[in-house]
């Protein structure tokens, strides 16, 4: 007897058969997901290689080249407009802890200010700040009529009492910390009882908490004895927080909390660009300036990835320490892996591309 198979079943069989064959023949294991990479851009002007001071024309050309590379825009004006808009309240976080020996160069900041002006942000609306006003002035950052606003973080009053970050490491409160002020009204969040001078909270600098929405982070390339590198992550956290000594313990035990603090919404997410001033660098004795341990890389780096910047800077510092017969930093940079694991950026050197741009 002849059996007639309906056309519907033939159609179904023809559709399923290739899928079954493909499944049976596919014995390859699924490929591992690609791990992210990071790019750090560098400009090395001839002036830097010759050890000359950083001039305003050179700084302007370097910043334009870097911001175009980081953003992928064809002009500097378009690049800045992709980072900020006229409604943004913008701040520039400089590093002046080592001034006058080592600090973010004023011509570099002036170049950034001109870029912000091209995006519609007048310089008299921009905050330039670090913790200590005297060191800022020693570095050349002074309040002038019609100029940018110079901000600092004075003890007690320089912090926003309602904005703080909590990190696992406990710190002993000292004079200048908000909660060390025994006249603090009762009932504020994070209040420390009288007699108890330990806290896991750090209050945020008022200028960062309340006065700016977006930040251009401009650290220097400098060693720090407890966490190895006072770079991009350090520059946005330690100088902007009270109860900060817990992050820079001599044994390095608090350094991992730098990554935790940076990840908080009021800090790291506000940063739209990192420009690391590597014109002059320091490989020991930081973050205070020490003329015995200076190097002259003569370059400027930029990236959106603060972890990649710090990882490369850490490696450079270790290399400079060898001829100076200083011990390697070793495990002092282990916290950068924590920053990578937290999703803040790339710490593994083999996954960081350092691209040198022509000026």
Least confident of 91-95, 156-160, 248-252, 276-280: 248-252
Residue 189: pLDDT band with limits 50, 70, 90: low
pLDDT tens, position by position, 310-330 = 999 999 999 999 999 999 998
pLDDT recorded at residue 194: 47
Cβ atoms of residues 246 and 171 within 8 Å = yes
Cβ atoms of residues 298 and 48 within 8 Å = yes
Cα–Cα distance between 228 and 258 in angstroms, integer?
Answer: 12
Exposed/middle/buried for residue 123 (C-beta within 10 Å: 0-12, 13-18, 19+): middle
User: Quick count: other Cβ atoms within 10 Å of Cβ 63?
Assistant: 27
pLDDT recorded at residue 34: 72
Sign of the CA dihedral running 224, 228, 234, 240: negative
The pTM for the full model equals 0.87
Nearest to 279 by CA among 107, 64, 71, 38: 107
Q: What is the CA radius of gyration of the chain?
A: 25
CA distances from 336 to 31, 35, 259, 305 (A): 27, 17, 8, 12
User: Quick count: other Cβ atoms within 10 Å of Cβ 65?
Assistant: 21
Q: Directed axis angle between helix 56-71 and helix 76-83, to 10°?
A: 60
Cα–Cα distance between 215 and 128 in angstroms, integer?
Answer: 10
Average pLDDT, the chain: 88
One CATH from 3.40.50.920, 3.40.50.11440, 3.30.565.10, 3.40.50.2000 for 36-354: 3.40.50.11440
């Amino acid at each position: 007897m002849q059996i007639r198979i309906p056309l519907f079943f033939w159609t179904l069989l023809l559709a399923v058969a290739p899928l079954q064959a493909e499944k049976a023949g596919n014995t390859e294991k699924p490929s591992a997901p690609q791990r992210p990479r990071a790019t750090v851009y560098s400009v090395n002007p001839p002036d830097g290689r010759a050890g000359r001071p950083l001039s305003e024309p050179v700084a302007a050309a370097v910043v334009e080249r870097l911001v175009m590379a980081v953003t992928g825009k064809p002009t500097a004006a378009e690049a800045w407009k992709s980072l900020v808009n006229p409604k943004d309240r913008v701040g520039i976080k400089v590093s002046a802890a080592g001034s006058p020996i080592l600090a973010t160069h004023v011509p570099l900041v002036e170049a950034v200010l001109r870029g912000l002006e091209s995006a519609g942000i007048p310089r008299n609306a921009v905050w330039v700040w670090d913790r200590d006003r005297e060191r800022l002035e020693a570095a050349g950052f002074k309040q002038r009529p019609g100029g940018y606003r110079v901000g600092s973080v004075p003890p007690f009053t320089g912090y926003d009492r309602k904005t703080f970050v909590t990190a696992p490491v406990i710190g002993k409160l000292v004079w200048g910390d908000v909660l060390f002020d025994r006249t603090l009204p009762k009932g504020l969040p994070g209040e420390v009882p009288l007699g108890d001078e330990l806290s896991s909270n750090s209050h945020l600098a008022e200028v960062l908490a309340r006065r700016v929405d977006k930040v251009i982070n401009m650290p220097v390339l400098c060693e720090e004895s407890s966490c190895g590198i006072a770079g991009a992550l350090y520059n946005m956290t330690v100088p902007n927080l009270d109860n900060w000594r817990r992050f820079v313990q001599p044994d390095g035990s608090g350094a991992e909390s730098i990554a935790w603090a940076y990840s908080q919404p009021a800090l790291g997410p506000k940063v739209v660009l990192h420009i690391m001033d590597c014109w002059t660098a320091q490989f020991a004795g930081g973050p205070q300036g020490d003329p015995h341990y200076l190097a002259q890389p003569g370059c400027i780096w930029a990236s959106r990835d603060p972890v990649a910047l710090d990882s490369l800077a850490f490696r450079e510092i270790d290399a400079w320490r060898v001829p100076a017969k200083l011990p390697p930093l070793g495990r002092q940079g282990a916290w950068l892996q924590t920053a990578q694991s937290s999703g803040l950026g790339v710490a593994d050197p083999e996954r960081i591309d350092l691209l040198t741009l022509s000026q």
